Amino acid sequence: MDFWLLCGLFVLMMPSTSGPQRISDSDCGVIESNKEDVEALVNEKLRIKNNFNYKEKIENMKDYIKRLKQCIRWFQQLDGNYVTQLEKLKKSMMKAKEDKLNTIIMELRKNLEALQEKFTKEEVDKLATDDRRLDLSEVFYVGQSVRSNIVDVSTEMGRITLSLKQSLCCSTDASFIQEYFLLEEKVTPEFLSIFDKLI
């Protein structure tokens, strides 16, 4: 731009009642533009027939400034829309992340509850197994005690039997006692074998 063109722009921007009117914002509505329109506007050269015709320069500059303002307003509106959409996108992404985290937390809580139930069941089973072991050990000790008593009784029976057999030899009427000993010899082994099976 040359010196006179800059002077014309300066005159346009100065508030004046007698000079040329400034372009008001109401004159510059928002017109949709695209990249090509903006580049064409920026690269546009003013066509002025006479360099000393300032009125023509000012008129051309007014039109150019009006189109520049329209383009700037379009960019401002586009930028505002972009910022709004960016905020919406951020909010939707945060909402999606929050929903995903809530889903993960719910799954973890379900897994925790399942693990707690499993742990409780295993503890109960362990206690029941320990109780069964205690019961079995008690049964074993009782069985050993009974077996020891049977052995003691059997030993005592053997001693009594031997004593009776010795006295039988001296007795004249020993038929009753002989029957008892024969029966006792049959019953005692059967009784011991049945008791061993029970233990």
Q: What's the mean pLDDT in 158-169? A: 64
pLDDT of residue 22: 40
- Is 181 contained in some domain? no
The answer on pLDDT for 76 being more than 70 is yes
CB-CB contact of 29 with 38 (8 Å): no
Q: What share of the chain is helix, strand, coil (3-state, %, to 5)?
A: 80, 0, 20
Letter string b/e over residues 76-109, b meaning 16 or more CB atoms within 10 A of that residue's CB: eeeeeeeeeeeeeeeeeeeeeeeeeeeeeeeeee
Domain that holds residue 116: 53-137
Question: Would 122 be classed as within a structural domain?
Answer: yes
pLDDT band at 171 (very low <50, low <70, confident <90, very high): low
In a domain, 77, yes or no: yes
Of 44-58, 100-114, 153-167, 169-183, the one with minimum mean pLDDT is 169-183
What is the residue-averaged pLDDT of the chain? 70
Determine, yes or no, domain membership for 164.
Answer: no
Mean pLDDT of 101-125: 85
Rounded to two decimals, the pTM is 0.36
**Is residue 16 domain-resident?**
no
Domain assignment present for 124: yes
Task: Give the total number of structural domains in the chain.
Answer: 1
6/176 Cα distance (integer angstroms):
155
Residue 63 in any domain: the answer is: yes
**In this predicted structure, what is the pLDDT of residue 188?**
62
Q: Is the pLDDT of residue 154 over 80?
A: no
Any domain includes 100: yes
Nearest of 6, 24, 26 to residue 15 by alpha carbon = 24
